Amino acid sequence: MVRSGKPTIADVASLAGVSVSAVSKVVNGKSGISSSTRERVLAAAAKLRWTPSATAVALRAAKTRAVGMVLRRETNLLSTDPHFTLLIDGIERELAPRGYGLLLHIVGEEQLAEETAYRRLAEEGRVDGVLLTESRVGDTRFALLRDLGLPAVLVGTPWEDDPIPAVRAPHSDCGIHQAVEHLLRYGHRRIGYISGPEDRVHTHHRIRAVEEVLEEHGLGTAPSVTSGDFSPDGAVDAVREMLAHLRPTAILFANDSMAVAGLSTARRLGVEVPRDLSIIGHDDLPMSELVYPRLTTVRQDLVGLGRAAARVLLAALGEVDDGHVQVNPPELVIRESTGPAR
Amino acid sequence: MVRSGKPTIADVASLAGVSVSAVSKVVNGKSGISSSTRERVLAAAAKLRWTPSATAVALRAAKTRAVGMVLRRETNLLSTDPHFTLLIDGIERELAPRGYGLLLHIVGEEQLAEETAYRRLAEEGRVDGVLLTESRVGDTRFALLRDLGLPAVLVGTPWEDDPIPAVRAPHSDCGIHQAVEHLLRYGHRRIGYISGPEDRVHTHHRIRAVEEVLEEHGLGTAPSVTSGDFSPDGAVDAVREMLAHLRPTAILFANDSMAVAGLSTARRLGVEVPRDLSIIGHDDLPMSELVYPRLTTVRQDLVGLGRAAARVLLAALGEVDDGHVQVNPPELVIRESTGPAR
DNA sequence: GTGAAAGCGCTAACAA
DNA sequence: TTGTTAGCGCTTTCAC
């Protein structure tokens, strides 16, 4: 006779000839079970291919063993930039081995859609916590999540010391410091920085990091910053503008896509890289090795950051004791797009 | 007095002064409820910010309102290639409005890890169905999923007419046809094709598509195919090899990353694109507009495919009636990397 | 039009 | 060591 539907704990119990609680204890590794019982239960469970229903366990425990992540697709950032894929890869490496799932939501650019997504996640109780990225100036998500009572961990630097748990790389400015020093060593003096969107917290940190090194070397003046919006199109305009006025001998970009766009723009204007202009990207995404010339860039350990964030969240959920994962500090990867100042 | 924890249907019921079943009927839009009751329930629910618990509903209905997707991270394909991000973007556009979640798993390259992921999804009952991509030669996933009784929809072409429900673009070969014809029109005769991995079903389809056009024009001979593995490194070697032997005047690539790598390799060898060599990519990912010269490429409606697949799955789950979503046919986007044969 | 109660699959408290 | 049972939050008969 064929049983329809999935087997339940009761099926396993009756096949093993024991009570349901015995089965429960066995699969949960509780004590107070004779080894003969244990074996019969295990055999029955294997035979039936039974695994405890995640939903039933979730209802019972009031925990879903899933974490959420909501991503905003702004100016196609999501698809231009494998940034998120790497982060998610890292996150999964911590979640998967512990049987946690990742519930992903991609929402439009409207603020409301994002808020709704978080609200639903919380109110429907679909996840035990969430992971946030792209820390924003005046970020309202932290407050919302606290309000919703949903544990959250941010990848990045919180806005204005908001007490949200956050992970970031050690010596987080040091990659940029290295980048600027690398340029300085090559004799560059007019250095441009094409930043990310102004509503990102890291944008301001990075600008500050560039300035620090410059000041340290007595190049008191602020670097000429033309704010990009992380989109390659914006970068193209910013580069044209910058080349026409500041006439820099080197430009740093806030991400690799913009740097690649910068590379092409230079080429298009007859500016040769690195002979006439040095270019440095940020993140060290796979594309930086694909282009010509290969991009010098500030490597970020995105996979490590993802892992660390997941780990901290898991710790907050009482799943692991030690929320610590090693994250590599950012470092400059020198390739072909930088050279001596003319 | 502050209630701790999330409100339940009972809280709403008592606040509204009705029974729990009345609340249930209201939120589920069932008939047999007076409008006064309805209003009081709605008011109470709003006041308590109550939404039915997804887990409880799932247990009750034996449906989770979530679909799964497991991705293999092979040769860094995942992060090199925003392909998946676009697909997921499309998927979410169908799932989100219906309150469905997307449970994502990224697994290592081992076959076992992938199988385990599907098994868990099914046996733990975490999802109602799954979405598959990257159809493989001799794909074992379809059989596994049937075995597990988990509804599945494939984005792409099934291996050997496997009866798994699948979505693909209309006139799916027509983009490649256009590409080859475009090259022919420019006078190219020695055309190379750098394919994807041989274990992908589409690899063979696309090779066939290229050959068809060539034969049609009396260029009986098969195009010289050097099998890439979708990785840019592989592409670099393939291009070198091809340039040294076949000496093509044009090369088609199975994805944009490889094409971009091809662009750089050519440049590095002193081969100018498109003067000495025309290059065509595949997918039209954002990066194709970033590089110099801008990449001529076969655009695929990845977002549309994601939507369509999600839609078909939703229909299979009885969630929507009509599983139909319009997917744009692939088309050649002509940019700067192609030109007349020398 | 409304409410009481059974039960979805599981775990844990309690009894035996 | 083992089994019985209440109850997690919800939907759905079935009486009223």
What pLDDT, in 10s, does the model give residues A39-67?
999 999 999 999 999 999 999 999 999 99
As a rounded value in angstroms, the CA-to-C1' distance for A120 and C3 is 29
Q: Tell me the C-alpha to C-alpha distance, in Å, between residue A109 and each of A36, A79, B246, B265.
A: 58, 14, 48, 38
Residue contacts between A and B (CB atoms, under 8 Å): 163
Kindly report the CATH class assigned to A66-170+302-316.
alpha beta
Domains B66-170+302-316 and B174-299 belong to one CATH topology: yes
Which whole number is the average pLDDT over A110-114? 90
Could you list the pLDDT tens digit for every one of the 342 residues in chain B?
445 689 999 999 999 999 999 999 999 999 889 999 999 999 999 999 999 999 999 999 999 999 999 999 887 777 777 788 899 999 999 999 999 999 999 998 888 999 999 999 999 999 999 999 999 999 999 999 999 999 999 999 999 999 999 999 999 999 999 999 999 999 999 999 999 888 899 999 999 999 999 999 988 666 777 777 777 788 888 999 999 988 999 999 999 999 999 999 999 999 999 999 999 999 999 899 999 999 999 999 999 999 999 999 999 999 998 768 899 999 999 999 999 998
Which residues does chain B have within 8 Å of residue A268's beta carbon, measured at their own beta carbons? 292
Strand D interface, protein residues by Cβ within 7 Å: A 17-22, 25, 31-34, 36-37, 56, 59-60, 62; B 5-6, 8-10, 20-21, 23-25, 27-28, 30, 50, 52-53, 56-57, 59-61
Residue with CA nearest to C8's C1' atom: B60
Nucleotide closest to A61 measured between CA and C1': D8
Q: Where are the domains of chain A?
A: 9-61, 66-170+302-316, 174-299
User: Of A55, A103, A264, which has the smallest distance from its Cβ to B55's Cβ?
Assistant: A55
Burial of A190 (0-12, 13-18, 19+ CB in 10 A): middle
What pLDDT, in 10s, does the model give residues B45-61?
999 999 999 999 999 99
Q: What is the 3-state secondary structure (H, E, C) of chain A?
A: CCCCCCCCHHHHHHHHCCCHHHHHHHHCCCCCCCHHHHHHHHHHHHHHCCCCCHHHHHHHHCCCCEEEEEEECCCCHHHHCCHHHHHHHHHHHHHHHHCCEEEEEEECCCHHHHHHHHHHHHHCCCCCEEEECCCECCCCHHHHHHHHCCCEEEECCCHHHCCCCEECCCCCCHHHHHHHHHHHHCCCCCEEEEECCCCEHHHHHHHHHHHHHHHHCCCCCCCEEEECCCCHHHHHHHHHHHHHHCCCCEEEECCHHHHHHHHHHHHHCCCCCCCCCEEEEEECCCHHHHCCCCCEEEECCHHHHHHHHHHHHHHHCCCCCCCCCCCCCCEEECCCCCCCCC
What pLDDT, in 10s, does the model give residues A197-244?
888 999 999 999 999 999 999 886 667 777 777 777 888 889 999 999
pLDDT at residue A222, rounded to an integer: 60
What pLDDT, in 10s, does the model give residues A174-185?
999 999 999 999
- Find and list the nucleotides of strand C having atoms within 7 Å of a protein beta carbon: 1-5, 7-13
User: What CATH number has the domain spanning B9-61?
Assistant: 1.10.260.40
In percent, how much of chain A has pLDDT > 70? 97
pLDDT at residue A47, rounded to an integer: 96
Which whole number is the average pLDDT over A135-150? 95
Nucleotide closest to B53 measured between CA and C1': D9
B70 touches chain A (CB under 8 A): no
Gap from A213 CA to chain B (nearest CA, Å) = 30
Residue with CA nearest to D12's C1' atom: B21
pLDDT at residue B1, rounded to an integer: 44
Q: Retrieve residue A8's tokens.
A: 């339940």
pLDDT at residue A322, rounded to an integer: 76
Helix (H, G, I), strand (E, B) or coil at B101: strand
Does the model's pTM come out above 0.75? yes
As a rounded value in angstroms, the CA-to-C1' distance for B24 and C4 is 14
Which whole number is the average pLDDT over A190-194? 93
Task: For chain B, positions 264-323, list CB contacts with chain A under 8 A.
Answer: 264, 267-268, 285-287, 289-292, 294
**pLDDT band at residue A98 under the 50/70/90 scheme:** very high
Q: Tell me the C-alpha to C-alpha distance, in Å, between residue A339 and each of A182, A250, A251, A280, B175.
A: 9, 9, 12, 11, 41
The Cα B199–Cα B243 span in angstroms is: 25
pLDDT at residue B62, rounded to an integer: 95
Task: For chain B, positions 77-116, list CB contacts with chain A under 8 A.
Answer: 78-82, 84-86, 88-89, 92, 96, 99, 101-107
Superfamily designation of domain B174-299: Response regulator (3.40.50.2300)
pLDDT at residue B184, rounded to an integer: 96
Query: With 50 as the cut, is the pLDDT of residue A312 above it?
Result: yes
Task: For chain B, positions 252-271, list CB contacts with chain A under 8 A.
Answer: 257, 260-261, 263-264, 267-268
